[in-house]
Structure 1
Amino acid sequence: MVDKNNSQKSGKIPLRIDPKLHEALAKRANQEGRSLNNFLTKLLEEGLHPETFEDRQFVGQVISGENFDLASQLVNVSGIYYRYLIDNSSRVHQDADYAIIEANGNILTLRELK
């Protein structure tokens, strides 16, 4: 639909979503210490404007804990080893899965999925 008025938007969007999705989004926002509104705004901005090539290539991928080389502190992603930071844990659990939430050069920030 085309906005024929070219008027400035209010910044408010009424949105209906499945209650289970609402609950999951609220939980993720809480885990990040954000309000639901702030979390959704961040997700929309990141989706609209991926910040870097690395973000576009990696963010959102899920990595198995089996892909970590704990001795060298590297993680294997698609056959290439990267340094990593764990966002919500002090150590890697090799029986867990991790989502890549940020990529900066050869350093990936990962979050354990619970």
Structure 2
Amino acid sequence: MEDMATFLLRMPQALKRKLEQRAKQENRSVNSLLQTMIENELESLKQIDTVTSLEHRQFIGQVISSKQIDQENGLVQVNGIFYRYLIESNQNFDSTKSYIVIEANGNILTLRPVVL
């Protein structure tokens, strides 16, 4: 048997209730549910790392000025290539802000406003 570790995890009460409800639906303990969720997430990240797209490798973390964004056509220009874009949490475009690329999914980049 593998050595087990214990750590304290803080979360909102609402999230805890959701986890408890899901665990109950699956006839499992919250601990077992969380362990499986973490294992699945780490495995999926491992798979993503082995088949990472050019966009993901080159653009994640790159800061984009508002001048590179064509709001009218829904495009952003990154390294000379135009991509569709989404702004995190469906925020409105703000021409006074710069944005950072936080996700690349096919030809769609997700941007987050840079907070200074």
TM-score, scaled to structure 2: 0.54
Matches of 2:86 and 2:110, distance apart in 1 = 5
Decide whether aligned partners of structure 1 residues 68 and 52 sit closer, same or farther in structure 2, where only a CA change above 3 A counts. Answer: same
Give the share of equivalent positions with the same residue, in percent: 45
User: Structure 1 unaligned runs (5+)?
Assistant: 1-7, 13-40
Three-state SS of the structure 2 residue aligned to 1:91 is: coil
- Flag the 1:11–1:85 CA change in 2: closer, same or farther, 3 A: farther
Is 1:70 paired with 2:63? Answer: no
Q: Which runs of 4+ in 1 moved over 3 A?
A: 8-12
RMSD of equivalent CA atoms: 3.6
> Are the aligned partners of 1:88 and 1:112 in contact in 2 as well (CA < 8 Å)?
no
Cα distance change on mapping 1:71 and 1:52 into 2, 3 Å: same
| d(CA) in 2 for partners of 1:62, 1:105 | 19
**TM-score when scaled to structure 1?**
0.55
Stretches of structure 2 that go unaligned for 5 or more consecutive residues are 7-37
Higher helix share: 2
